[in-house]
């Protein structure tokens, strides 16, 4: 009964529709029916179908009542995609700014080369005085690219300035009789050389200042000297540093990382010498340090020196079966040399 009433109402509504409206509705329904007649689980909608319904939505105000196979918002989405695609193709097909002539490109490069202090606005203005209208971006585009020499690495930079740097610091060594000895180390950053050391039980500012004079005789003083803020380095030490025409750099409190080279050397002294011996007295400690430095400077290799020693260790080719082992520093270390035949 319900379907009969629905049919009668639909028939009554179609009787008042215009002929054009009926033709469009029939065409729309026939189109959708043709899609569902295909033997597929789901109707495949092609680009032609989308264009057809976009045109119907534009030409026919009541197109929604005849649409069943998709939602109305889907047709609106199709139309928006066609709109964006149209303008995308239109913008991509435009030729853009015309290319300038080779003569003008050559002129721009000549003006850049002959006037290195000029900028692109200045060149644009000069070209305008010649009746040549060109954009600032075009002038910058044809700017000649100068090949500058490569920038030095940080390692090269530091190596070049290491010759002007030195560091000083104290470290303590206990003795067998529970005394504490203070060792002053003066290190040159260039080749990691220990330019001076001395041992005392009672360090004073006057004693420290005298060690600096012994460490840098004549004109061997570096330009910069790095030290910490220890009270041992008093005003007398500062005046002596100034008299040697050295600029001192004082590290921040509790910041040994600001003076890493001398801290590393002190650690090397401990790991390779002092951790393996019992110091008897001041004289014994001086002898041990002198013995170790006699090995350290000519023989001990450093990774920072490309596996070379501070004094320079020449390569001596040898047969692996013909190498002599020479003990140094009371047998704590060894030197290896080719054995004479």
115-154, pLDDT tens digit by residue? Answer: 877 888 888 888 887 888 888 888 888 888 766 666 667 6
Question: What are the pLDDT digits (tens) for 251-267?
Answer: 999 898 999 999 999 99
Mean pLDDT of 17-38: 60
- Residue 9 is predicted with a pLDDT of 45
**Backbone phi, psi, residue 145, to 5°:** -90, 110
What's the CATH number for 161-310? 3.30.420.10
Percentage of the chain lying above the pLDDT 70 cut: 73
High-pLDDT (> 90) share of the chain, %: 37
**What's the 3-state SS for the chain?**
CHHHHHHHHHHHHHCCCCHHHHHHHHHHHHHHHHHHCCCCCCCCCCHHHHHHHHHHHHHCCCHHHHCCCCCHHHHHHHHHHHHHHHHHHHHHCCCCCCCCCHHHHHHHHHHHHHCCCCCHHHHHHHHHHCCCCCCHHHHHHCCCCCCCCCCCCHHHHHHHHHCCEEEEEEEEEECCCCCEEEEEEEEECCCCEEEEEEEECCCCHHHHHHHHHHHCCCCCCCCEEEECCCCCCCHHHHHHHHHCCCEEEECCCCCHHHCHHHHHHHHHHHHHCHHHCCCCCHHHHHHHHHHHHHHHCCCCCEHHHCCECCCCCCCCCCCCCCEEEEEECCCCEEEEEECCC
Q: How confident is the model at residue 22 (pLDDT cuts 50, 70, 90)?
A: low
Indicate if the pLDDT at residue 59 is higher than 80: no
Residue partners of 43: CB distance under 8 A and separation at least 6? 35, 36, 69
Give the pLDDT confidence of 35-55 residue by residue, as tens digits.
Answer: 555 555 555 667 776 676 677
Cα torsion 133, 139, 144, 148: sign:
positive
Contact (CB, 8 A) for 170 and 183 = yes
- The residue with greater pLDDT, 171 or 340, is 171
How many other CB atoms are found less than 10 A from the CB of residue 265?
A: 20
Asked if 25 contacts 66 with a C-beta cutoff of 8 angstroms, the reply is yes
pLDDT at 162: 82
Domain edges within the chain: 18-87, 102-141, 161-310
- Which has more confidence, 178 or 117? 178
- Phi, psi at 288, each rounded to 5°: -65, -45
Q: Residue 31 in contact with residue 43, Cβ under 8 Å? A: no
pLDDT at 12 over 80: no
Evaluate if residue 321 carries a pLDDT over 60.
yes
For tokens 């014994």, the residue is 284
């Amino acid at each position: 009964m319900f379907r009969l009433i629905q049919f009668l109402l639909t028939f009554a509504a179609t009787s008042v529709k215009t002929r054009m409206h009926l033709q469009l509705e029939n065409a729309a329904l026939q189109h959708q029916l043709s899609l569902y007649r295909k033997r597929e689980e789901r109707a495949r909608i092609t680009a032609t179908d989308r264009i057809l319904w976009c045109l119907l939505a534009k030409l026919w105000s009541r197109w929604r009542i005849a649409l069943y196979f998709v939602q109305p918002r889907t047709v609106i989405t199709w139309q928006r995609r066609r709109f964006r695609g149209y303008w995308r193709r239109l913008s991509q097909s435009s030729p853009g700014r015309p290319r300038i002539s080779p003569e003008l490109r050559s002129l721009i490069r000549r003006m850049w080369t002959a006037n290195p202090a000029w900028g692109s606005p200045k060149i644009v203005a000069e070209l305008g005085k010649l009746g040549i209208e060109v954009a600032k971006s075009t002038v910058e585009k044809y700017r000649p690219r100068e090949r500058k020499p490569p920038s030095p690495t940080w390692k090269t930079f530091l190596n070049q300035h290491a010759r002007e740097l030195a560091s000083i610091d104290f470290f303590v060594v206990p003795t067998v009789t529970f005394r504490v000895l203070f060792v002053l180390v003066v290190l040159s950053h260039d080749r990691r050389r220990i330019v001076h050391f001395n041992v005392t039980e009672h360090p004073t500012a006057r004693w420290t200042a005298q060690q600096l004079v012994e460490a840098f005789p004549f004109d061997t003083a570096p330009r910069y000297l790095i030290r910490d803020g220890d009270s041992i380095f008093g005003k007398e030490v500062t005046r002596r540093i100034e008299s040697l025409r050295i600029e001192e750099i004082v590290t921040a409190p509790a910041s040994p990382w600001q003076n890493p080279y001398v801290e590393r050397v002190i650690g090397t002294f401990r790991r390779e010498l002092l951790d393996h011996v019992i110091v008897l007295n001041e004289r014994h400690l001086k002898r041990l340090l002198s013995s170790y430095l006699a090995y350290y400077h000519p023989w001990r290799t450093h990774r920072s020196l490309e596996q070379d020693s501070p004094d320079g260790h020449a390569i001596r080719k040898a047969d692996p079966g013909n190498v002599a082992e020479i003990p140094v520093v009371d047998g704590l270390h060894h030197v290896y040399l080719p054995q004479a035949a």
